[in-house]
């Protein structure tokens, strides 16, 4: 399959796709490494704690949580089990629906999240320090808008 068989639009789409993957994966890797080295956590766990931190105080069901997560999608049963074992989250059976239960962060989980979030803001700021703020705004809006058309 040579380049000649692709349309101009396909070539540009592929270029953008590759660059997006490269950039995003690299950035994700940088933050993931930092979280692991400094807190023994990874982006999936940070993501879970982040969603629980902004959730209503009684917590979220598995389904609600799964729908909000950015990184991990699939089986979060094991992830939550391990986080519960580490004392970061707790579960409570729902009275009105015995299939379901609520997940919320513990005091320990929330304190850890607060620490990680602060550091994360610094790491991300450093990683993006060469981008001027106007470009950042424009770029973020562009991505947000474009994402809606992916559905």
Q: Which residues bind DNA (CB under 7 A)?
A: 29, 32-33, 36-37, 42, 44-45, 61-63, 66, 71-80, 82, 96-101
x/- binding map, residues 46-75, to a copy of itself, per CB under 8 A? ------------------------xx-x--
Residues forming beta bridges with residue 93, ordered by sequence position? 101
Residue 143 CB neighbour total at 10 angstroms? 10
Which of 19-27, 56-64, 83-91, 98-106 is the region at the interface with a copy of itself (rule: CB under 8 A)? 19-27
88: helix, strand or coil: coil
**Taking the complex as a whole, how short is the minimal distance between the CB of residue 30 and DNA, in angstroms?**
11
Residue identified by tokens 């699939």 is 74
What tokens were used for 78? 């094991």
User: Among a copy of itself, DNA, none, what does residue 24 contact (CB within 5–8 Å per kind)?
Assistant: a copy of itself
- The residues in 118-137 that bind a copy of itself, with binding defined as CB under 8 A, are 118, 120-122, 124-125, 127-131, 133, 135-137
Distance CA 67, CA 62 (A): 9
What residues have CB less than 8 Å from 66, skipping those under 6 apart? 73, 76
**Taking the complex as a whole, how short is the minimal distance between the CB of residue 51 and DNA, in angstroms?**
13
Residue identified by tokens 């000649």 is 4
């Amino acid at each position: 399959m040579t380049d000649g068989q692709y349309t101009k639009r396909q070539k540009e789409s592929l270029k953008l796709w590759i660059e997006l993957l490269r950039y995003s994966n690299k950035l994700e890797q940088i933050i993931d490494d930092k979280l692991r080295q400094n807190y023994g956590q990874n982006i999936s766990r940070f993501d879970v704690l982040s969603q629980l931190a902004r959730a209503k105080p009684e917590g979220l069901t598995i389904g609600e949580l799964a729908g909000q997560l950015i990184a991990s999608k699939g089986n979060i049963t094991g992830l939550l089990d391990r986080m519960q074992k580490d004392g970061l989250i707790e579960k409570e059976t729902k009275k009105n629906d015995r299939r379901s239960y609520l997940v919320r962060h513990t005091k320990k989980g929330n304190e850890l999240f607060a620490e990680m979030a602060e550091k994360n803001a610094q790491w991300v700021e450093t990683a993006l320090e060469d981008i001027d703020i106007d470009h950042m705004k424009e770029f973020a809006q562009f991505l947000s808008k474009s994402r809606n058309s992916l559905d």
